[in-house]
Chain A
Amino acid sequence: MNGKIGTTQAAMLIVNTILPTATVVLPIIISTYAEQDAPMAIIMSTLAGLLIAAIVGTVIQNNNGAPFLDWVREKSSPVVSTILGLLMLQFYLDTTATILREFVNFIKDNVLINTPVTVLVILILFITIYMVRQGIESIARVNTLVILLYFVFVPLYLFGLFSDLNVHNLLPMFDHNLAELTLASLTPTTWMSEVAVLLFLAPYLQYPQRARIIGWTGLLFVSVLMMFSLITALMVFGPDFIKLSAYPGFSTVGIIRIGRFIEKLDILFISYWVLSIYLKFAIFLFVTVECFKQTFRVSSSRPFIGALGLLIALECLFTWQSSAKLNIYNKEGRFVVFFLFNVLVPLGAILLYRVHKSRSKRKGVET
């Protein structure tokens, strides 16, 4: 079932790689620093993201869709690639576990207050393992469907909120200095840098040469959607109130009222969000498995999906038990780690490629 995924599908995959957690967590982080200038922060982080996408895209172009770690092994040495693989595996395990934790936290906060975390984790894991076993092609297909569904919800959202939108809440613009804006755009940049999953999706791309375009399209889409949700939330609640709310996007939905009987629509939007976070989690699990597969050079990853899933579940259940810890990681730790793996690693890969190329050229000249 290892089909190839087309360019549009891949771009959509990038959208859902970033969007679901970003829409939930981002607004609060951004608006803590930037308040009504939050859209600026998003623009800044998008620019940064585009840069990262360009780097990642270049790497994929250079290795022409070969499995990343295999390529590194070929260009440098098995030791380097194995160590890098182990580190990246650790990174992806952590990331996937935090995604799972965010997912579960959200569900527990909003819908199923009394249901034990373990049950939710196991259920989600089972479903996601099934998804990963169906292959990236199926995930990509469903992903496109889910994103299309977004366009059903947008009109409903806009129509319901129309009377509550107040453009003046966006004023005054440019109220914050550059330092604050940079601080605010750090976290979104970490999310945007998740475009680096393309490194591991590359072997499944139909046209790996277009990786850069894929990354850019995906990121632009994400930033438009995030701007949309952030601006509407700001317009409804104003910059001060938005800081209070743990999930501003869904609070915004909560006040939608159409006619006298359609109210409290947040559960509908939460359901939609559940679909997209499933996909995000599946993509990351897939990438983790792929990373594992390349690190240990196993031919079939199928038997290991369950084991890796279990590992993630355990990490999710025990390491990220306290949500305060998760918030601190989101706010502070995440940037460093993401920068390291999503920016420096691809940059290093480009460097490696250049060095290798010039060396082989020199060799070619010498012989």
Chain B
Amino acid sequence: MNTQRKALCLILCLPLLSALLSGCWDDRELNELGVTSGSAYDWENNEWKATYQVINPSSGASGMGGSGGGSTSSPPFVTFTVKGRTIMEAIERTNLTSTREMFFSHSRITVIGESLAKHGINQLIDMFLRKQDARETVYVFISKGEAGDILDQLMQLTKNQGSGIQLMIEQESRLLSYYPGTRLFELAMSLASESGSAVLPEILLTGPGIMDETSETGRTDLPSRLALGRLGVLKGEKFVGWLSQKQAFGLSFMTDNIETATIAFASQPRKSDKLDASFILQNSWTNVHPVWAKDHFIMDIDIKGSGVLTELGSVMDLNDRKAISEMEASLERQVLDLVNNSWTEVKKLGADVTGFAVRVHRSDRKRWKQIEKEKSWDSVFQEIEIRPHVSFQIERTGLSNKSFKSVQQE
């Protein structure tokens, strides 16, 4: 009985199985996919202009450090530029020119043109969060001119340009800390947060031309390279201005985004203001504490850090504790300048990229509710006074005790 019923069940299952086999609705073979490694969006004539960088698998673009740079004739990637009234319309229009279906899950970067940033990026962010194969973890950049041009540029030492730029920004935020890379979900998070502002690193070409021919990358010193530049500031969904790298660095101190940083400072501030020493900041913590002072907020910013001395251009004996303290004081002043400088600019832009609104909400929720109700954060923000306190410690001085200059003078 039982086996008969099972057999019947099996027979019933067979048509289902065959139905499954005949229809493979979602499968895409690898060689039907255009794997995009980066995308760029511009706003032109009230239309979206999207540029996609599609990896060309047969050129061996996977190899990091590629075998013989420009020796292969086929480019490691190709770009498509399409226009449409909406982003998806533009994307789908790619199929008019491309042999392959766009596949976005492996995108590493997205470049937003200044034109688009001024128009507003909400729609773009929504598309990224909504679309199933779009990655929220792409790094977002902003470019001064046409964003699409960035994607045409070939890179040396890596063939896959998108992941190359990703490496660049990750390396920058790890070793230099001028600004952290902004991933798309982080961009969305900070735009959706109380502050409603975000920063995007700028990506630019160092030279006038675009190196988009494989033969051109055969040179050792390219006249034009991709580089990270200033920091773009967005408020709401729109671009409001730039912070220079120095100001961005100050902002990093305020927002606790320092991983490792090198700071140039004057080793003997009493004798000269010449920046003649460097220091690698290895650990750094920032604590921001808002205090309400009658009619405005005061932000207590405590910056603490420690690191190693790596370069010294003056006559000095490092066994002397006093000299070290002097240097520490000079360092602190240096960072204080950075922070203050940055704050002035941020205030001028009126965008709360420092995340002070979040801090205020967390520490003083009653007053925040009031502010929220009155929608007065912008004016409150303008009133904010910051009180940065910096305390740095030179923990080690490297492999030599005296500066070379002092040895030479003896």
**A residues engaging B (CB < 8 A)?**
109-116, 119, 122-123, 126, 130, 168, 171-172, 175, 237-238, 240-241, 244-245, 251, 254-255, 257, 263-264
Q: Is B225 an interface residue (CB 8 A)?
A: no
A115 (CB) vs chain B CBs: closest residue: B25
The docked-state distance in angstroms from the alpha carbon of A111 to that of B137 is 18
On whether A240 and B193 interact (CB within 8 A), knowing A168-B362, A172-B363, the answer reads: yes
Q: Which residues of B have CB within 8 Å of A238?
A: 189, 192-193
Which of B15-23, B113-121, B398-406 has 4 or more CB atoms under 8 Å from chain A?
B15-23
A110 and B132 within 8 A (CB) = yes
Q: Is B29 an interface residue (CB 8 A)?
A: no
Task: Tell me how far the C-beta of A180 lies from the nearest C-beta in chain B, rounded to whole angstroms.
Answer: 13
**Residues of chain B in range 344-389 having any CB-CB distance to chain A below 8 Å:** 358, 361-363, 365
6 A-B pairs with CB atoms under 8 Å apart are A110-B132, A119-B19, A168-B358, A238-B192, A244-B188, A251-B136
The docked-state distance in angstroms from the alpha carbon of A110 to that of B194 is 30
**Residues of chain B in range 94-148 having any CB-CB distance to chain A below 8 Å:** 105, 129, 132, 135-137
Task: Tell me how far the C-beta of A135 lies from the nearest C-beta in chain B, rounded to whole angstroms.
Answer: 13
Q: Which residues of A have CB within 8 Å of B365?
A: 172, 175
For this complex, into which size category does the number of interface residues on chain B fall? 20 to 34
B16 and A123 within 8 A (CB) = yes
| Interface residues as binary, B19-52 with A (CB distance below 8 Å gives 1, 0 otherwise) | 1100101100000000000000000000000000
A240 and B26 within 8 A (CB) = no
Q: Which residues of A have CB within 8 Å of B137?
A: 254-255, 257, 263-264
Q: Which residues of B have CB within 8 Å of A112?
A: 25-26
A254 and B25 within 8 A (CB) = no
- The listed residue with most A CB atoms (<10 A of its CB), out of B19, B20, B362, B363, is B362
Q: Could you list 18 further interchain pairs (A-B, Cβ under 8 angstroms) beyond the known A119-B23, A255-B183, A264-B137? A: A109-B132, A110-B132, A113-B26, A113-B132, A115-B25, A122-B16, A123-B16, A126-B16, A130-B9, A171-B362, A172-B362, A238-B192, A240-B192, A240-B193, A245-B129, A251-B185, A254-B136, A254-B137
Q: Which residues of B have CB within 8 Å of A241?
A: 185, 188-189, 192-193
Q: Which of B26, B188, B358 contacts A114 (CB 8 A)?
A: B26
Q: Which residues of A have CB within 8 Å of B192?
A: 238, 240-241, 244
Task: Tell me how far the C-beta of B170 lies from the nearest C-beta in chain A, rounded to whole angstroms.
Answer: 10
**Residues of chain B in range 177-207 having any CB-CB distance to chain A below 8 Å:** 183, 185, 188-189, 192-194
Q: Is B227 an interface residue (CB 8 A)?
A: no
The 4 closest A-B pairs by CB, nearest first: A171-B362, A114-B25, A240-B192, A115-B25
Q: Which of A122, A245, A264 contacts B135 (CB 8 A)?
A: A264
Q: Is B323 an interface residue (CB 8 A)?
A: no
B189 and A240 within 8 A (CB) = yes
Q: Is B7 an interface residue (CB 8 A)?
A: no
Q: Which residues of A have CB within 8 Å of B185?
A: 237, 241, 251, 255
Task: Tell me how far the C-beta of B157 lies from the nearest C-beta in chain A, rounded to whole angstroms.
Answer: 16
Task: Tell me how far the C-beta of A302 lies from the nearest C-beta in chain B, rounded to whole angstroms.
Answer: 9
Q: Is B13 an interface residue (CB 8 A)?
A: yes
Task: Tell me how far the C-beta of B167 lies from the nearest C-beta in chain A, rounded to whole angstroms.
Answer: 9
Q: Which residues of A have CB within 8 Å of B23?
A: 115, 119
Q: Which residues of B have CB within 8 Å of A257?
A: 137
Q: Which residues of A have CB within 8 Å of B20?
A: 119, 123
Q: Which of B13, B129, B361, B363 contacts A244 (CB 8 A)?
A: B129
B362 and A237 within 8 A (CB) = no
A241 (CB) vs chain B CBs: closest residue: B189
B170 (CB) vs chain A CBs: closest residue: A260
Task: Tell me how far the C-beta of A110 lies from the nearest C-beta in chain B, rounded to whole angstroms.
Answer: 7
Q: Which residues of A have CB within 8 Å of B129?
A: 244-245
Q: Which residues of A have CB within 8 Å of B9?
A: 130
Task: Tell me how far the C-beta of B356 lies from the nearest C-beta in chain A, rounded to whole angstroms.
Answer: 13
Task: Tell me how far the C-beta of B35 lies from the nearest C-beta in chain A, rounded to whole angstroms.
Answer: 13
The docked-state distance in angstroms from the alpha carbon of A323 to that of B398 is 64
The docked-state distance in angstroms from the alpha carbon of A251 to that of B9 is 39
The docked-state distance in angstroms from the alpha carbon of A165 to that of B194 is 19
The docked-state distance in angstroms from the alpha carbon of A109 to that of B137 is 19
